Amino acid sequence: MAEKTIYYIEGDGIGPEVWKAGRPVLDAAVEKAYGTTNALNWVELLAGERGYAETGEHLPQATMDALAGAELAMKGPLQTPVGKGFRSLNVTLRQVFDLYACIRPIKYFKGIESPVKRPDLVDMTVFRENTEDVYAGIEYQSGSPEARKLIEFLTDQLGAKVDITAGVGIKPMTPAGSKRLVKRAIDFAIEHGKPSVTLVHKGNIMKHTEGGFRAWGYELAEQEYAGKVVREGEDGSGVIIKDRIADAMFQNVLMYPEQYSVIATTNLNGDYISDALAAQVGGLGLAPGVNMGDTLAFFEPTHGTAPTIAGKDMANPGSLILSGAMLLEHIGWTEAAQLIHAAVEKALTGKRVTVDLASQIAGSTRVGCQEFGDILLA
Ligand code: NAD
């Protein structure tokens, strides 16, 4: 079995402790599945607070150079540096490496007490567009010269009614940006035998951006997947393509989770819906994800640095470990990924869990981050 190089960033806050507890679980799963040691070649890259302390930069050039040539990477959470003019390091990485698809599986693990009536029916994968929408960073403060200039243009040239004191933001969304995301979602659905892809948008209000997403999604499906997909309500076979308005969708996924399988959506909707769904099946401590471009796949837990519990051996390493399982699946090392899923399920039913899960599992005992990692390892 060929060795795989994985660049990794430890991250800030709880990053070091979840890596310490989590990485041995990934190595052990590979070893147990294939009988080879050190098949994962971990290469550390500096970033965040450690990057700053050691190089004076939060995203050192050496890190960016290594990632530019990489296919596989994993990271812990990075704190957004405090101070004027700093953008989120995560958003910067997504934009620099054009990691346009944020993919988050939401799957129920036995043992969790979920507020959803039938959590066992929850098995969805959210594809969130990662580079456009209101996250493009085109936003101006109320009263700033830029905001005033833009408002003057909008009112004078375009006849829009905007109060001169408004803070203003732009929501750019393109056919190409939307289509490449929807393409990923449809390809995934076909490859994994999923029944449907739902385009989630707020096109009833924002016709040319969110509504554009819906229209471009259907256009792509019709142009590139003839015979492989079928629009909801039409005759034919294949993956069903349907669309839902975001507010109705939030209600529907909680009440009728069995109707949804693959979700393709815009940046802001995707941000909300993936966290909300994760909360139904265990919360941020069990929520993995990946940001993918055309070459680099950058796996990361969904949670942030959890500063209030950092360094206290309280964090759940599950989200990092499950992100690692996603990486293993991505490279086709499915047996190792399955061992990890089985270990998580067994640990939850064994009821010795980290504090975030203890409140969701009746009769459970709290264990620390490292001990939870050791339980998974065992
Ligand atoms: P957060 O995810 O760090 O914390 C939200 C809540 O969830 C807190 O109560 C926290 O204690 C808890 N939590 C998070 N991860 C947990 C885990 N593994 N185990 C147990 N409990 C966990 O979100 P926040 O407080 O909004 O953000 C803190 C910092 O993290 C900010 O600087 C933010 O920019 C950054 N952040 C980074 C990423 C990323 O790197 N992808 C994502 C989100 C936030």
Q: Is 274 known to sit in a ligand binding site?
A: no
Which atom of ligand 1 is nearest to 88's Cα? Answer: 34
- CA dist 281 and 209 (Å) reads 31
pLDDT of residue 113: 83
User: Per the annotation, does 104 bind a ligand?
Assistant: yes
For ligand 1, whether the C-beta of 129 sits within 6 Å is: no
23 has binding-site annotation: no
Within 13 Å of residue 175, how many CA atoms lie on the same side as its CB? 6
How far apart (Å, rounded) are the C-alpha atoms in residues 338 and 356?
23
pLDDT at residue 376 in the model: 97
Distance CA 262, CA 199 (A): 9
Dihedral angle, C-alpha 194, 200, 204, 208, nearest 10 ° = -110
pLDDT digits (tens, 9 = 90+) for 287-321: 999 999 999 999 999 999 999 999 999 999 999 99
pLDDT for 85 equals: 59
Whether 271 lines ligand 1, by a CB cut-off of 6 Å, is no
Low-confidence ranges of the chain (pLDDT < 50): none
- Gap from CA of 51 to ligand 1 centroid (Å): 19
Contact predicate 15/76, CB 8 Å: yes
The whole-angstrom separation of Cα 264 and Cα 128 is 6
Q: For position 362, what pLDDT does the model report?
A: 87
> Phi and psi at residue 327, in whole multiples of 5°?
-60, -45
Whether 296 and 73 have beta carbons less than 8 Å apart is answered as yes
Ligand 1 neighbourhood includes 326 CB (under 6 angstroms): no
User: Residue type for 255, please?
Assistant: M
369 ligand 1 Cβ < 6 A: no
> DSSP 3-state assignment of 207?
coil
pLDDT of residue 286: 92
State if residue 300 touches ligand 1 by the CB under 6 angstroms criterion: yes
**Whether the complex's predicted ipTM surpasses the cut of 0.95:** yes
The Cα–Cα gap between 273 and 269 comes to 6
- Hey, which of 103, 305, 312 would you mutate to test ligand 1's pocket, going by the most ligand atoms within 8 Å of its Cβ? 305
Phi, psi of 140 (to 5 degrees): -125, 140
| Angle at the Cα of 164 from the Cα atoms of 160 and 169, rounded to 5 degrees | 70
Q: How high is the pLDDT of residue 80?
A: 85
Cβ(287)–Cβ(301) below 8 Å = yes
Report helix, strand or coil for 261: coil
**Cα dist. 270→30, 101, 127 in Å?**
32, 10, 7
pLDDT in tens, 160-179: 999 999 999 999 999 999 99
pLDDT value at residue 83: 64
**Residue 316 Cα: closest atom of ligand 1:** 19
Q: pLDDT value at position 119?
A: 85
End-to-end Cα distance, the chain: 24
Name the residue at shortest CA distance from atom 25 of ligand 1. 306
Check the annotation: does 352 bind a ligand.
Answer: no
Ligand 1 atom closest to 303 (CA): 2
Predicted pLDDT of residue 84: 53
Query: Whole-angstrom Cα distance, residue 329 to residue 1?
Result: 15
Q: Is 47 in the pocket of ligand 1 (CB under 6 A)?
A: no
Integer Cα distance of 24 and 377 in angstroms? 7
CA of 76 to the centre of ligand 1 (A): 11
Strand duo 168-169 + 139-140: pairing: antiparallel
